[in-house]
Protein backbone atom coordinates (compact mmCIF):
# COMPACT_ATOMS: atom_id res chain seq x y z
CA UNK A 1 0.00 0.00 0.00
CA UNK A 2 0.99 3.62 -0.11
CA UNK A 3 3.71 4.32 2.46
CA UNK A 4 3.01 8.04 2.57
CA UNK A 5 0.49 9.43 5.01
CA UNK A 6 -2.35 11.58 3.74
CA UNK A 7 -3.95 14.40 5.59
CA UNK A 8 -7.70 14.62 5.86
CA UNK A 9 -10.22 12.86 3.63
CA UNK A 10 -9.73 14.92 0.48
CA UNK A 11 -9.24 11.77 -1.59
CA UNK A 12 -12.58 10.22 -0.60
CA UNK A 13 -14.62 11.77 -3.48
CA UNK A 14 -11.96 10.57 -5.94
CA UNK A 15 -12.16 7.04 -4.55
CA UNK A 16 -15.72 6.55 -5.85
CA UNK A 17 -14.81 7.96 -9.26
CA UNK A 18 -11.75 5.73 -9.41
CA UNK A 19 -13.83 2.65 -8.66
CA UNK A 20 -16.37 3.58 -11.33
CA UNK A 21 -13.62 4.16 -13.88
CA UNK A 22 -11.95 0.87 -12.99
CA UNK A 23 -15.29 -0.96 -13.36
CA UNK A 24 -15.82 0.53 -16.80
CA UNK A 25 -12.28 -0.39 -17.85
CA UNK A 26 -12.72 -3.92 -16.49
CA UNK A 27 -15.90 -4.49 -18.47
CA UNK A 28 -14.08 -3.46 -21.65
CA UNK A 29 -11.01 -5.56 -20.89
CA UNK A 30 -13.01 -8.65 -19.85
CA UNK A 31 -14.30 -9.16 -23.38
CA UNK A 32 -10.78 -10.22 -24.42
CA UNK A 33 -10.01 -12.40 -21.39
CA UNK A 34 -10.01 -16.17 -21.72
CA UNK A 35 -8.79 -17.30 -18.28
CA UNK A 36 -9.40 -16.25 -14.68
CA UNK A 37 -5.71 -15.48 -14.25
CA UNK A 38 -6.02 -12.76 -16.89
CA UNK A 39 -8.68 -11.16 -14.71
CA UNK A 40 -6.49 -11.51 -11.62
CA UNK A 41 -3.58 -9.88 -13.43
CA UNK A 42 -5.78 -7.02 -14.63
CA UNK A 43 -7.16 -6.42 -11.12
CA UNK A 44 -3.67 -6.50 -9.58
CA UNK A 45 -2.37 -3.96 -12.12
CA UNK A 46 -5.42 -1.74 -11.55
CA UNK A 47 -4.83 -1.73 -7.78
CA UNK A 48 -1.14 -0.88 -8.21
CA UNK A 49 -1.89 1.90 -10.68
CA UNK A 50 -5.00 3.43 -9.13
CA UNK A 51 -4.23 3.06 -5.43
CA UNK A 52 -0.42 3.38 -5.43
CA UNK A 53 0.01 -0.09 -3.91
CA UNK A 54 3.61 -1.29 -3.94
CA UNK A 55 2.83 -5.02 -4.22
CA UNK A 56 -0.41 -6.86 -4.95
CA UNK A 57 -0.70 -10.62 -4.59
CA UNK A 58 -3.75 -12.75 -5.30
CA UNK A 59 -3.81 -16.18 -3.66
CA UNK A 60 -6.30 -19.00 -4.16
CA UNK A 61 -7.03 -22.40 -2.71
CA UNK A 62 -6.35 -25.22 -5.16
CA UNK A 63 -6.64 -28.99 -5.04
CA UNK A 64 -4.17 -31.56 -6.24
CA UNK A 65 -5.09 -34.84 -7.96
CA UNK A 66 -5.48 -36.54 -4.59
CA UNK A 67 -8.10 -33.94 -3.61
CA UNK A 68 -5.87 -32.26 -1.04
CA UNK A 69 -6.14 -28.49 -0.68
CA UNK A 70 -3.19 -26.14 -0.92
CA UNK A 71 -2.79 -22.42 -1.58
CA UNK A 72 -1.19 -20.98 -4.65
CA UNK A 73 -0.08 -17.51 -5.63
CA UNK A 74 -2.12 -16.82 -8.76
CA UNK A 75 -0.71 -13.41 -9.61
CA UNK A 76 1.62 -10.76 -8.28
CA UNK A 77 2.30 -7.24 -9.50
CA UNK A 78 5.07 -5.07 -8.07
CA UNK A 79 5.13 -1.32 -8.65
CA UNK A 80 8.94 -1.42 -8.49
CA UNK A 81 10.04 -4.36 -10.62
CA UNK A 82 13.54 -4.17 -9.13
CA UNK A 83 12.07 -5.34 -5.79
CA UNK A 84 13.49 -8.86 -5.38
CA UNK A 85 10.75 -11.46 -5.65
CA UNK A 86 12.12 -13.47 -2.71
CA UNK A 87 11.35 -10.53 -0.41
CA UNK A 88 7.61 -10.78 -1.08
CA UNK A 89 7.25 -14.49 -1.92
CA UNK A 90 8.78 -16.68 0.76
CA UNK A 91 7.69 -19.05 3.52
CA UNK A 92 6.61 -16.23 5.86
CA UNK A 93 4.40 -14.67 3.17
CA UNK A 94 2.91 -18.09 2.36
CA UNK A 95 2.17 -18.60 6.07
CA UNK A 96 0.31 -15.27 6.26
CA UNK A 97 -1.65 -16.10 3.09
CA UNK A 98 -2.57 -19.50 4.55
CA UNK A 99 -3.69 -17.84 7.79
CA UNK A 100 -5.89 -15.36 5.92
CA UNK A 101 -7.50 -18.15 3.91
CA UNK A 102 -8.00 -20.41 6.93
CA UNK A 103 -9.41 -17.58 9.08
CA UNK A 104 -11.51 -16.39 6.15
CA UNK A 105 -11.12 -12.75 7.15
CA UNK A 106 -9.94 -9.36 5.95
CA UNK A 107 -7.19 -7.28 7.45
CA UNK A 108 -7.52 -3.51 7.40
CA UNK A 109 -4.40 -1.46 6.82
CA UNK A 110 -1.85 -2.58 9.41
CA UNK A 111 1.85 -2.24 10.00
CA UNK A 112 3.87 -5.20 8.76
CA UNK A 113 5.11 -5.94 12.30
CA UNK A 114 1.60 -6.80 13.40
CA UNK A 115 1.23 -9.43 10.67
CA UNK A 116 4.72 -10.83 9.99
CA UNK A 117 7.49 -12.14 12.24
CA UNK A 118 10.05 -9.45 13.19
CA UNK A 119 12.72 -10.52 10.69
CA UNK A 120 10.29 -10.57 7.76
CA UNK A 121 8.74 -7.23 8.81
CA UNK A 122 12.25 -5.72 8.98
CA UNK A 123 13.14 -7.11 5.55
CA UNK A 124 9.96 -5.69 4.04
CA UNK A 125 10.59 -2.32 5.71
CA UNK A 126 14.07 -2.15 4.14
CA UNK A 127 12.29 -2.11 0.78
CA UNK A 128 9.78 0.53 1.86
CA UNK A 129 6.97 -1.96 2.43
CA UNK A 130 5.54 -0.80 5.75
CA UNK A 131 1.83 -1.57 5.56
CA UNK A 132 -0.32 -4.60 4.87
CA UNK A 133 -3.92 -4.97 3.72
CA UNK A 134 -5.90 -8.05 2.73
CA UNK A 135 -9.32 -8.81 1.39
CA UNK A 136 -10.83 -12.28 1.58
CA UNK A 137 -13.33 -13.36 -1.08
CA UNK A 138 -14.90 -16.79 -0.98
CA UNK A 139 -16.61 -19.08 -3.45
CA UNK A 140 -17.30 -22.80 -3.47
CA UNK A 141 -16.10 -22.96 -7.05
CA UNK A 142 -12.54 -24.16 -7.55
CA UNK A 143 -10.44 -22.27 -10.05
CA UNK A 144 -8.85 -23.96 -13.06
CA UNK A 145 -5.09 -24.42 -12.87
CA UNK A 146 -2.96 -21.46 -14.01
pTM (2 d.p.): 0.78
- In angstroms, the Cα distances linking 136 to 27, 30, 66, 133 are 22, 22, 26, 10
- In angstroms, the Cα distances linking 87 to 78, 107, 121, 125, 126 are 11, 20, 10, 10, 10
Residues 6 or more apart whose Cβ sits within 8 Å of residue 13? none
Per-residue pLDDT of the chain (146 residues; tens, 9 = 90+): 444 444 444 445 555 666 676 777 777 777 788 788 998 999 999 999 888 899 999 999 888 889 888 899 999 999 999 999 999 999 999 999 999 999 998 999 999 999 999 999 999 999 999 999 999 988 877 677 77
pLDDT at 80: 95
Amino acid sequence: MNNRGTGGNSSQPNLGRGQALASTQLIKAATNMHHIDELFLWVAHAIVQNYDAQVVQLWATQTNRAGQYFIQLRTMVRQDTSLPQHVVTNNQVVAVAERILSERRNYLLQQMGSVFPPYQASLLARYGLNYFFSYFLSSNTLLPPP
